[in-house]
Every structure is written in C-alpha cells, then in structure tokens.
C-alpha cells in the first residue's frame, strides 16, 4: 500500500512525539523492529508502530509516563509485552520474547548502537540481538528468515559472530539452518561474510549427532518457533515441549 504524504506526516509526527516522550521518561530503552532493520540494512517499511525494547523493570516507568501524557496503555502479556496507543498508532514495549528465550538484559544496552530516528537521538538494539530474536520467528503468519539474510548481507562483516554464536549456542541447529539458507540465497557473498570457523563448528556438531544415542524423551522443539503448527505434536502425538510457554 502506497502511503500518502498526509499519512507520512502523521506517522513522522507520532514517531517524533513518542521518542521524545520516551527520552523524557528517564527509562532506558532501545529502538528495534522495522526501524532497527532500516538502521542496519537500509530497508524501509511503512508502519504505524514502534518496537521498543527494554528490561522488564523499565516498562512500568514507560507505561506510567505515557499514561500521564494522554496515551492509552496496556499490559498485554506480563511475560514479555506491553503496549501504548494513540489513535491508529501504537508502541510495542518488548522486554522478552513469546518463548521467553531472548530476555533483555544490561548487555543489550551496553552494546546498543547510537543514532537518530525522526530527528530524535535514540539507541538501536544490537544487530546480534536483532538476529537472535528473529531466529525464533518462523511461523505460518510470519517468517523472519529473509530479514536475517538481509541483515547478514548488509551488516554481516561488522557482526560480532562470537557473540551471536554464544546467544544461539543452546539452539545451534537453527543458526546452521539459517546460514545454509544464506549460502543458498547468496552464493557469491557468503564466503566473505560467514566465518569458516563457525560453519565448520556447526557442521561438526551436526555430524556428531549421529554418533550419540537417541534421546530417551520424545521432545518437539517446534513450539519454540511456531506455537500453533506444532500444537498437534504436543497435544495429540505425545511429544514433550521444550518451551516453558504453555500451549
């Protein structure tokens, strides 16, 4: 959908007002979502919302500050999400992920990138954490694999690959799957972007799986990336879920 100039002006006015209020709230926050993607890749998407990331002890300050300035607020899910509304526009205040894996902590703030958006000074979530969160978004309604590939293509040479590896060490399979997808999509670029030591280590781990005894428990990790489509595995096929989130 093509945005009219009037709609662009309204969006920009909301973004500027919201970010200025955030800066006045004295709460620490980082800008994520579509505008972090724009910061790292140059890809711009029309949107009426801001994705704000913060520690869980920061969102009450943000909600109260916006409420005192006439915004409607909502604690959407106490485990990971709150919202702020003004007309057709809204702010997602994110302090975890729906699978409770990517909890915002102090290290996010320490590694955040300073910049500006809507002429307001802001900090963007680190590229490594942006990728980390998006790795688990692989469901029928939304799959962020292309976002990850574009981030790797445009920012991969500057990534802290050791840090990203540490973030995904527990679920290294999806990192390997993503890097193979990147290799498929960009056959002329992956050698200059993906460190060979990382690829070798992930392939070694994958090969090693065949040398191990099969797991005693029937586990399905699917709900970590899609809670809907893997519901049948847990409810009807007697698999145990590895996620702590109730389906």
Q: Look up the CATH number of the domain holding residue 108.
A: 3.30.460.40
- Residue 170 counted as domain residue: yes
How do residues 110-165 score in pLDDT, each as one tens digit?
A: 999 999 999 999 999 999 999 999 999 999 899 999 999 999 999 999 999 999 99
- Residue 27 counted as domain residue: yes
Are residues 78 and 40 both part of a single domain? yes
pLDDT at 46: 79
Indicate the angle between helix axes 172-185 and 145-155, nearest 10 degrees.
70
Q: Reduce the secondary structure of 128-155 to three states and give it as a string.
A: HHHHHHHCCCECCCCECHHHHHHHHHHH
Are residues 42 and 100 both part of a single domain? yes
Expressed as residue numbers, the domain containing 164 is 136-211
Are residues 45 and 62 both part of a single domain? yes
Contact 16, 120 (CB under 8 A): yes
The residues facing 92 across adjacent strands are 51, 83
Looking at residue 101, the DSSP 8-state letter turns out to be: -
Are residues 25 and 74 both part of a single domain? yes
The residues facing 220 across adjacent strands are 241
pLDDT at position 234 over 80? yes
Cα 56–Cα 114–Cα 162 angle in degrees, nearest 5: 75
- Residue 131 counted as domain residue: no
Q: Which of 99, 125, 151 is the last residue of a domain?
A: 125
CA distance 133 to 37: 12
Percent of the chain at pLDDT exceeding 70: 97
Q: How many domains does the chain have?
A: 3
pLDDT at 47: 82
CA dihedral (184, 187, 193, 195) positive or negative: positive
Are residues 30 and 114 both part of a single domain? yes
Are residues 116 and 151 both part of a single domain? no
Q: Over range 200-208, report the average pLDDT.
A: 98
Category of 42 on φ-ψ map: left (φ > 0), alpha (ψ -120 to 50) or beta: left
Are residues 180 and 69 both part of a single domain? no
Are residues 61 and 4 both part of a single domain? yes
- Residue 130 counted as domain residue: no
How much is the mean pLDDT over the chain?
A: 93
Are residues 78 and 168 both part of a single domain? no
pLDDT at 245: 43
Are residues 240 and 203 both part of a single domain? no
Are residues 117 and 30 both part of a single domain? yes
- Residue 18 counted as domain residue: yes
Q: What is the pTM of this model?
A: 0.92
Are residues 65 and 50 both part of a single domain? yes
Q: Which of 80, 95, 125 is the last residue of a domain?
A: 125
Largest CA distance in the chain: 62
pLDDT band at 3 (very low <50, low <70, confident <90, very high): low
Exposed e or buried b for every residue in 118-142, given b needs 16+ CB within 10 A?
bebebbbbbbbbbbbbbbbbbeeee
- Residue 14 counted as domain residue: yes
């Amino acid at each position: 959908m093509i945005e009219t100039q009037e709609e662009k002006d309204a969006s920009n006015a909301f973004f500027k007002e919201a970010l200025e209020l955030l800066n006045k709230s004295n709460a620490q926050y980082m800008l994520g979502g579509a505008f972090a993607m724009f910061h790292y890749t140059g890809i711009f998407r029309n949107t009426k919302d801001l994705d704000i990331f913060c520690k869980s002890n920061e969102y009450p300050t943000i909600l109260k500050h916006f409420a005192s300035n006439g915004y409607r607020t909502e604690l959407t899910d106490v485990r990971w999400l709150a919202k702020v509304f003004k007309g057709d526009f809204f702010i997602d205040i994110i302090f975890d992920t729906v699978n409770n894996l990517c909890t915002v902590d102090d290290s996010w703030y320490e590694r955040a990138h300073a910049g500006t958006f809507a002429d307001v000074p802001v900090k963007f979530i680190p590229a490594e954490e942006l990728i980390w969160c998006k790795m688990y978004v692989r469901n029928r309604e939304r799959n962020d694999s292309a976002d990850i590939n574009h981030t790797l293509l445009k920012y991969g040479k500057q990534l802290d690959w050791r840090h990203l590896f540490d973030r995904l060490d527990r679920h290294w399979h999806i990192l390997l799957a993503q890097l193979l997808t990147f290799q498929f999509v960009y056959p002329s670029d992956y050698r200059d972007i993906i460190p060979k030591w990382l690829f070798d280590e992930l392939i070694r781990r994958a090969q090693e799986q065949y040398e191990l005894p099969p797991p005693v428990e029937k586990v399905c990790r699917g709900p970590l990336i899609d809670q809907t489509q893997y519901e049948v595995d847990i409810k009807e096929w007697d698999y145990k879920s590895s996620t702590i989130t109730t389906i």
